[in-house]
Amino acid sequence: MTAIPYVNSTPHIGNVLTTLSGDITARYFRMTGHDVFFQAGTDENGLKIKEAAEKAGQDPHAFTDQIAQRFIDIFRGLKISYDGFVRTTEPRHVQAAQALFSKLRENGHIYEGTYEGWYDVSTETFFKEDELVDGKSPDGNEVRWVSEQNYFFRLSAFEQPLLEAYANGQLRVVPETRQNEVLSFIKQGLRDICVSRSNPGWGIPVPGDDSQVIYVWFDALINYLTSTGWPDAGWEDEWPPIVQWLGKDILTRFHATLWPAMLMGIGVGLPATIVGHGWILLGQDKISKSKGNVIEPLVLAGELAERAGVSQEIAVDALRWYEASTMGFENDSTFTYEDFDKRYNSDLANDLGNALNRSLSMAHKFLGESGGGAAIPSDHPDPEALKAIAEAKSGCEAAMTDFRIDRYSESAIGLIRYLNKAIDSWAPWALAKSGDPRLAGVLRSMLLCLRSAEGLVRPIVPDAADAIASQLGLDPLTEWRVIGLEESLPAGVALGQPQPIFPRLEIKPVTEEKKESAVAPTKTEARKPQAEPPAQIEFPDFMKVNLRVARIIEAERIEGSEKLMKLQVRIGDEPRQIVAGIAKKYAPIDLIGRQIIVVANLKPAKLMGHESQGMLLAADDVDGAPILLQPEHEAPDGTSVH
């Protein structure tokens, strides 16, 4: 289950992290064969919502309908696969909240009293005088003095039961550092908490007393039970949850203290684990609607889709991967656009894309019959490959016992990194050249690593996983048990052609040094001398040059040369070998899967004993180093350039 976001403004990449984490968890447990119920929702009561609606000139009902729909649309766009969605303004939630309030009152845990103290409308939280910092809440928000007759929850009575629940493992918080914070908070002494406010015309009325509404934090927590159908029959089928996801800021005071005490008060089981993840920072600041530094997730994905030339679905997967792999637990994570692009390139374009393109291209090259494609070989895979798959799978399982999605993603991509290194070690091109009988087993090992990685990354990047399965010619791998087993990779199935799922992005960081040199370059002598302008040619002369879009499938440095790189490229369906002087500027791994522009009808030539069957196009930077030319967006391989 996941904490529900407050609908006072548009959701951003920070407050969708909780729901995304729940989705990844749910997808993983579905793959492992569990009967999963995944809850999400929106928090729509409270004074802050009413004031935000008034500021917008809207009725609160119309305001919450509009904002809640934004969350629903964004969750759907992010592929959040929830089974239940609760809006706290729904009649079923009103019923559940009032029923729980009545049950606690019946059990002697709620009483009437007078509240006098400070109230932070921004976080909908009560504070004692000694908790204020320079006259403001601990979050730095303005507070209001409140003095009114209210209802109180006898939280102080649950101090020892809560400590015992944590001590005996009935309840735990992840990470452990946050559990220590929770225990420290409880041991300082719990005080009874005000759980109602004078009715401002928005909220859930206290049962039997319409002059009061239930405190928004008290009512919002109850949504988890609402999603199960509580208090109606059958709710026990979905309770208690194995995990509740939330941000660290709402952990200690509410989810790890107040909420389990409320459940104890009505005799209901506790969630097994509460995960309090860190914030996503933008620079030094938390991404926050109130601060106005919001990055909207689907907008960010849309921008990536346009820059990378991929579908919105694949761009969303890239965003899901970024948030999962950089998720902070003990500490916060920091978002920058440059880091977002680098993570895309390193994990998805270079590691995953490189492994997929190399493996499929070599399978077709070395196993394909004349005029036809290749099929999955039946030879047994390398034992080391099986060991690597088992270790990656075990690492993912271990990570999910503690719901450490960051460690899960690292184990999953670790298998891909192993594969890229193993390909260099196995050297299938050398085995093919020598006619070594181990070739088919090596290629099956490569394909099995890809198939297994497809299953491991599926909870995080489901559409990309489907694309991997499609290129392998197989149905999606959705059963955790078979990951790594040979039955997951049936022999004889025709392999698809490699297609880049995550094309590489061009990242151009601008340093201060580069900015200065761009304005006033001083080392003009280091620049490559400009050539004399060539003589003019006629249009028919230009038309003799056949420029085509090609894709690099393999790249390796030529031994004995500092400059030359040998490239295996594909121009449409035609394989070519091109030798180019780009080794000083580019690493082989950075070239795999990249599109380039080539002269396709250049007479073959030999460079250091290697035949070059074409020429790639490059510009010169100020120092004469090559800058590869490529289409602005992905183009069909083999397309003519004109």
pLDDT tens string 101-115: 999 999 999 999 988
Q: Is the pLDDT of residue 281 over 70?
A: yes
d(CA 225, CA 571): 58
Q: Is the pLDDT of residue 126 over 80?
A: no
Query: Of the candidates 401, 428, 350, 353, which has an alpha carbon nearest to the alpha carbon of residue 29?
Result: 401
What is the pLDDT, as a whole number, of residue 511?
A: 43
User: DSSP letter string over 228-279?
Assistant: TTTTSTTGGGG-S-S-EEEEGGGIIIIIIIIHHHHHHHHT-PPPSEEEEE-P
Q: List the domain boundaries for the chain.
A: 17-286, 297-488, 532-628
Q: Which residue has the higher pLDDT, 623 or 413?
A: 413
Q: Is the pLDDT of residue 147 over 80?
A: yes
Q: Is the pLDDT of residue 74 over 90?
A: yes
- How much of the chain exceeds pLDDT 90, in percent? 66
Specify the range with the lowest mean pLDDT, choosing from 167-176, 211-220, 235-244, 572-581. Answer: 572-581
Amino acid of residue 324: A
- Contact partners, residue 640, CB within 8 Å, separation at least 6: 546, 547, 548, 549
What is the pLDDT, as a whole number, of residue 589?
A: 60
d(CA 285, CA 478): 39
Q: Which residue has the higher pLDDT, 331 or 586?
A: 331
Structure tokens given for 314: 């694949």
For residue 11, is the peptide bond before it cis, meaning its omega torsion is within 30 degrees of 0?
Answer: no
Residue 616: in which H helix or E strand, if any?
strand 615-616
Note whether 151 and 196 are within 8 A (CB).
yes
d(CA 411, CA 417): 10
Mean pLDDT of the chain: 89
Note whether 41 and 62 are within 8 A (CB).
no
Taking residue 635's Cβ as centre, other Cβ atoms within 10 Å add up to 17
Note whether 460 and 396 are within 8 A (CB).
no
The β-bridge relationship of strands 172-174 and 273-277 is parallel
Structure tokens given for 455: 């299953």
What is the pLDDT, as a whole number, of residue 610?
A: 87
Taking residue 155's Cβ as centre, other Cβ atoms within 10 Å add up to 20
Please, is 297 exposed, middle or buried when counting C-beta atoms within 10 Å of its C-beta (0-12, 13-18, 19+)? Answer: buried
What is the pLDDT, as a whole number, of residue 518?
A: 30
Structure confidence at residue 289 as a pLDDT band (50, 70, 90): low
Note whether 587 and 594 are within 8 A (CB).
no
The alpha-helical segments, DSSP class H, found in 459-530 are 462-471, 512-519
The secondary structure of residue 638, as a DSSP letter, is T
List, for residues 48-69, the tens digit of each pLDDT value. 888 888 888 999 999 999 989 9
d(CA 452, CA 350): 18
What is the pLDDT, as a whole number, of residue 522?
A: 34
Q: Which residue has the higher pLDDT, 572 or 124?
A: 572
Q: Which residue has the higher pLDDT, 586 or 92?
A: 92
Q: Is the pLDDT of residue 365 over 70?
A: yes
C-alpha dihedral sign at 129, 130, 133, 139: negative
560: left (phi over 0), alpha (psi -120 to 50) or beta: left
Rounded mean pLDDT, 134-149: 85
Query: Of the candidates 217, 230, 216, 229, which has an alpha carbon nearest to the alpha carbon of residue 267?
Result: 230
What is the pLDDT, as a whole number, of residue 318?
A: 98
Q: Which residue has the higher pLDDT, 141 or 313?
A: 313
Note whether 116 and 129 are within 8 A (CB).
no
Query: Of the candidates 232, 230, 233, which has an alpha carbon nearest to the alpha carbon of residue 269?
Result: 230
Structure confidence at residue 288 as a pLDDT band (50, 70, 90): low
What is the pLDDT, as a whole number, of residue 508?
A: 58
- Residues listed for the chain: 642
Using DSSP, state whether 598 is helix, strand or coil. Answer: strand
What is the pLDDT, as a whole number, of residue 265?
A: 98
Instruction: Find the radius of gyration of the CA atoms of the chain.
Output: 30
d(CA 296, CA 74): 9
The β-bridge relationship of strands 285-286 and 333-335 is unpaired
What is the pLDDT, as a whole number, of residue 516?
A: 36
Evaluate whether 17-286 and 297-488 have a shared fold. no
Domain 532-628 architecture: Beta Barrel (2.40)
Q: Quick one: fold of 17-286?
A: Rossmann fold (3.40.50)
Structure tokens given for 579: 């030798």
Cβ contacts of 177-180, under 8 Å, gap ≥ 24: 177/330, 178/248, 178/251, 178/252, 178/256, 178/276, 179/256
Specify the range with the lowest mean pLDDT, choosing from 221-225, 501-505, 526-530. Answer: 526-530
548 phi and psi angles, rounded to 5 deg: -135, 155
Strand order in the sheet with 280-282: 285-286, 280-282, 333-335
What is the pLDDT, as a whole number, of residue 513?
A: 39
Taking residue 423's Cβ as centre, other Cβ atoms within 10 Å add up to 22
What is the pLDDT, as a whole number, of residue 533?
A: 65
Structure tokens given for 377: 């070989």
Domain 297-488 architecture: Orthogonal Bundle (1.10)
* Cα-Cα end-to-end distance for the chain: 55
Please, is 218 exposed, middle or buried when counting C-beta atoms within 10 Å of its C-beta (0-12, 13-18, 19+)? Answer: buried
Query: Of the candidates 459, 456, 454, 466, which has an alpha carbon nearest to the alpha carbon of residue 393?
Result: 456
Predicted TM-score of the model (pTM): 0.80
What is the pLDDT, as a whole number, of residue 304?
A: 96
Q: Is the pLDDT of residue 538 over 80?
A: no
Note whether 614 and 599 are within 8 A (CB).
yes
Query: Of the candidates 249, 267, 4, which has an alpha carbon nearest to the alpha carbon of residue 139?
Result: 249
Q: Is the pLDDT of residue 223 over 70?
A: yes
